[in-house]
Amino acid sequence: MYNTYILDVNARKVFNSRGEETIEVEVVTEGGFGRAAVPSGASRGKNEVVPFPKGGIDSAIKMFFDKIAPEIIGMDATAQREIDYKLRELDGTEHLEEIGGATILATSLAVAKAAAASLTLELYEYLGGSTVNELPYPLGNVLGGGKHSKGVSQDIQEILVLPVGAENIYDAIRANILVHKLLPKYIKEVDPNFAGGKNDEGAWTANLSSDEALKVVEKACKEAEKTLGFEIRIGIDVAASSLWDENKQKYVYFREKTTRDSGEQYEYVSRLIDEYDLIYVEDPFHEEDFELFAKLKKEHGNHAFIVGDDLFTTNVERLKKGVKLGAANGIIIKPNQIGTLTDTIETVRYAKRNDVTPIMSHRSGETEDVAIAHLAVALNCPVIKTGTVNGERIAKLNELLRISEYIGEYSKMAEIKIR
């Protein structure tokens, strides 16, 4: 007989991939153990939950022991929804400003991991059931700019690759890595002084305009396709909220030394989609411009994912507005934007019911925690945004390889549907 009741908990400070402090929580049951650490983003939407309270991480850890620990010790770890509601109740604010979203999410995920371990299940099995067998396509950032890079790189925050032709997760991961390996020689053709600089996510960063950057990635993809024998498509994360100047009512492109009003931004993004046959466009407009998102989706949504990150912040209420307006056919899922596993699952399920593709995602300041690999499989997300290289990114990708082995002969790649 398994015992899933929580016997003990712990919290500590650890470091993320940028060397910043974050929180890690441990949950112990009689039959299992769970540990979770929470990442942080550099480009954060204003509608995300607050990661830490005013007193910072020290205050968050104190409140964990003072407020959370006494309440959840003795609870059944399999009562995920009940525990997550309790965590929100203990904080008492909409955006988790009192205790902090990072602390609450770390606790929520550690509880789920402890419950799974108590039942001798992998996390993806515990959350998704024994019949889940689809692996997500990895969406890899290979050339970085914007807030994730420093200096004279392109204004577009991320240029990504999606190996849509891969037939298994190993080949899909290998394809993204190959594009990353091939890129430097093409970058040097445009930027002879390129010295191999990388950004927070391990993507290359170089002295390139956005168009130059897209062209070199296009060349690397073509070479990789010849080597591997299957199609690799290009995507972008504009992170337009970080370019938007509220006072000027314009998008400020610092490297290009130009500004674009909303109409010009729309024409610019439309041109990039057509010229580079983009399959994925994330945050092309600022986080409150549902109308332009809807216009872009109407024009290009039958052949490209028009994806909201800052637009939705993994919040089901904002997603409902987006669905009503037809604003996107893809949504980034970042659990630390919303605060609990229960909230994350609710948003994914609503997205899938309304033909919006959920894309499970890392953050720029990552930890070695591999939970999002399990969540992507458990929640049937056809795409996972994980980066391409760096240990904290590879950790998630290698976990997908292990999950593929756990599933065995029934393992297959998810079906990517653009609609």
Task: Report the C-alpha gap between 219 and 223 in whole angstroms.
Answer: 6
What are the backbone dihedrals phi and psi of residue 259, each rounded to the nearest 5 degrees, phi first? -125, 155
Q: What is the Cβ-side half-sphere exposure of residue 277, based on CA atoms within 13 angstroms?
A: 9
| CA dihedral over 332, 25, 403, 159, signed as positive or negative | positive
What's 166's DSSP letter?
A: -
Task: Report the C-alpha gap between 82 and 269 in whole angstroms.
Answer: 43
User: What is the bridge-based pairing of β-strands 280-282 and 258-260?
Assistant: unpaired
**Residue owning tokens 């314009």:** 250
What's 67's DSSP letter?
A: I
Strand, coil or helix: what is 122? Answer: coil
What positions carry a catalytic annotation? 201, 334
Give per-residue burial for 379-389: e unless 16+ CB within 10 Å, then b: bbbbbbbbbbb
**Structure tokens given for 98:** 């009192």
Q: CB of 12 within 8 A of CB of 23?
A: yes
Task: Report the C-alpha gap between 83 and 104 in whole angstroms.
Answer: 10
The neighbouring-strand residues paired with 137 are: 383
Task: Report the C-alpha gap between 201 and 206 in whole angstroms.
Answer: 14
Task: Report the C-alpha gap between 22 and 127 in whole angstroms.
Answer: 25
Amino acid at residue number 66: D
**Structure tokens given for 50:** 């607050």
Q: CB of 109 within 8 A of CB of 370?
A: no
Compute CA 330 distance to the chain's CA centroid, rounded to the nearest angstrom. 12
Strand, coil or helix: what is 387? Answer: coil
